[in-house]
Amino acid sequence: MTPTMEELIEHVRKLSAADRARLVGSILETLDEPDPVVEAAWKEEVERRAAGAESGASPAVEWSRARSKLGL
């Protein structure tokens, strides 16, 4: 017999915090299906940025300077 949602929730609440965290991670992984359009856009963006860094068109900035510009 398959447990009801209420029974599952009751059982999960009895788990340790670490086990609940593992369970949440496992459940989220089942929901995380990459969108091919988004993945393609990210790939293009990464390639564009890498090309800019390699060509010198997008020079690197030291982390301390970047933090300062961001007000961090």
pTM of the model: 0.46
Query: What gap in Å lies between CA 31 and CA 68, rounded to an integer?
Result: 38
3-16: average pLDDT: 94
**Per-residue pLDDT tens over the stretch 22-70:** 999 999 888 878 889 999 999 999 999 999 999 989 888 899 999 999 9
Give CA–CA dist 14/65, Å, rounded: 48
